[in-house]
Amino acid sequence: MILIHLARFLQVGAVGFAVDATLLWALVYPLEVPPIPARGFSFLVTIAITFVLNARYTFAVPLKESSKLRYGVVQTAGAGINFVVYSLLVLGGCLGPLWSLVVASALASAHNFLMMRRFVFGGATDKPKS
């Protein structure tokens, strides 16, 4: 079961990454928003989209108010990991905004999956719906 959840989590993550990267690129380059505030906005949009997709598709559980709070806490912790790594790479001049996003997202993904599976959608032990 964990492999099905992981595969679906990664699919949702790919959708989330595409949304996040597209918004980040549009804000930083054509609109010339500084990379750090642009990343904050792109993250907020992405978290809303991925909550619904992870609940319904990845773990096949109903959307619950309690899940929203736990999801927010887990995502905030993951965002902290993501944002610190992203900021260090961008501000340190190591990588540009998009490559920094790739590295930061990869590191935060493992944290998010494990915490979501255990604490947010913990009742999701049944086979996911097709």
pLDDT at residue number 123: 60
The dihedral of CA 28, 32, 36, 42: what is its sign?
negative
Residues of the chain with pLDDT below 50 are 126, 128
pLDDT at residue number 62: 87
pLDDT at residue number 124: 55
Rounded Cα distance, 121 and 16, in Å: 18
Distances (CA, A) of 84 to 33, 54, 60, 110: 19, 24, 31, 16
pLDDT at residue number 36: 93
What is this structure's pTM? 0.74
